[in-house]
């Protein structure tokens, strides 16, 4: 409907409106089921969007953590270079050997801590990537469920227009399949 009072119906809107105001049990049942399916579809669509967002957030967090781990490995490499220089300095004539030996030991200890931190971050990256994949899989289930519900609504509209009982039952069957897929998504299967 536009702001100028001009109202355009979709191809089946007029028939649905007419059916809603008649005493036709067939049409009334389909109208109620269509409204229920649309409501369920909205809830499924919400869940699908939420899981898609969660997957993206996990993936983003994994990328950030991966960068942090790479930075730690660079820091580790820097300490290794400093340790190597200190080890070389020990063999130079006229230097304080004890000073460079203590530096070598200090760099070894610092490297151990840096390495542990980098490995922890890499483990966190793997966990975040697994969480992202799990959320994305769940999102696909919600999307499959939503597709089934949309097909069920379309079949219900066609059943209403053609007055075919088998289409009505087909619509219910597809909606039930969509709810089954939604249950799989809910259960993270």
Q: What is the pLDDT of residues 163-189, one digit of tens each?
A: 999 999 999 999 999 999 999 999 999
Indicate the domain borders of the chain.
13-186
Residue located via tokens 């983003």:
60
pLDDT of 1 strictly over 60: no
Mean pLDDT of all residues belonging to the chain = 90
Residue located via tokens 């087909």:
170
Question: What DSSP string describes the chain?
Answer: --TTS-----TTHHHHHHHHTS--HHHHHHHHHHHHHHHHHHHHHHHHHHHHHHHHHHHHHHHHHHHHHHHHHHHHHHHHHHHHHHHHHHTSTTS-HHHHHHHHHHHHHHHHHHHHHHHHHHHHHHHHHHHHHHHHHHHHHHHHHHHHHHHHHHHHHHHHHHT-HHHHHHHHHHHHHHHHHHHHHHTT-
Q: What is the pLDDT of residues 108-142, one digit of tens each?
A: 999 999 999 999 999 999 999 999 999 999 999 99
Give dist(CA 36, CA 12) in Å, integer: 18
Residues 6+ apart with CB under 8 A from 133: 55
**How many angstroms separate the Cα of 22 from the Cα of each of 18, 25, 26, 84, 138?**
6, 9, 10, 90, 42
Residues 6+ apart with CB under 8 A from 2: none
Is residue 60 within 8 Å of 131, Cβ to Cβ? no
Q: What is the pLDDT of residues 13-41, one digit of tens each?
A: 666 566 556 677 888 899 999 999 999 99
What is the per-residue pLDDT for 16?
59
Instruction: Note the Cα 12 to chain centre separation in Å.
Output: 35
What is the per-residue pLDDT for 21?
64
């Amino acid at each position: 409907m536009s702001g100028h009072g001009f109202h355009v119906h979709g191809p089946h809107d007029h028939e649905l409106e007419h059916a809603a105001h008649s005493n036709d049990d067939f049409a009334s049942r389909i109208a109620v089921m269509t409204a229920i399916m649309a409501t369920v579809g909205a809830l499924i669509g919400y869940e699908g969007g939420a899981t898609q967002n969660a997957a993206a957030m996990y993936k983003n967090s994994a990328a950030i953590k991966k960068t942090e781990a790479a930075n730690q490995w660079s820091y580790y490499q820097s300490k290794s270079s400093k340790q190597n220089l200190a080890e070389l300095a020990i063999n130079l004539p006229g230097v304080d050997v004890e000073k460079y030996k203590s530096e070598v030991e200090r760099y070894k200890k610092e490297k151990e801590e840096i390495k542990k931190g980098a490995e922890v971050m890499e483990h966190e990256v793997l966990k975040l990537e697994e969480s992202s994949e799990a959320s994305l899989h769940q999102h696909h289930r919600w999307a499959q469920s939503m597709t089934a519900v949309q097909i069920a609504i379309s079949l219900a509209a066609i059943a209403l227009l053609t007055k075919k009982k088998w289409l009505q039952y087909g619509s219910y069957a597809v909606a039930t399949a969509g709810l089954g897929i939604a249950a799989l998504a809910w259960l993270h299967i």
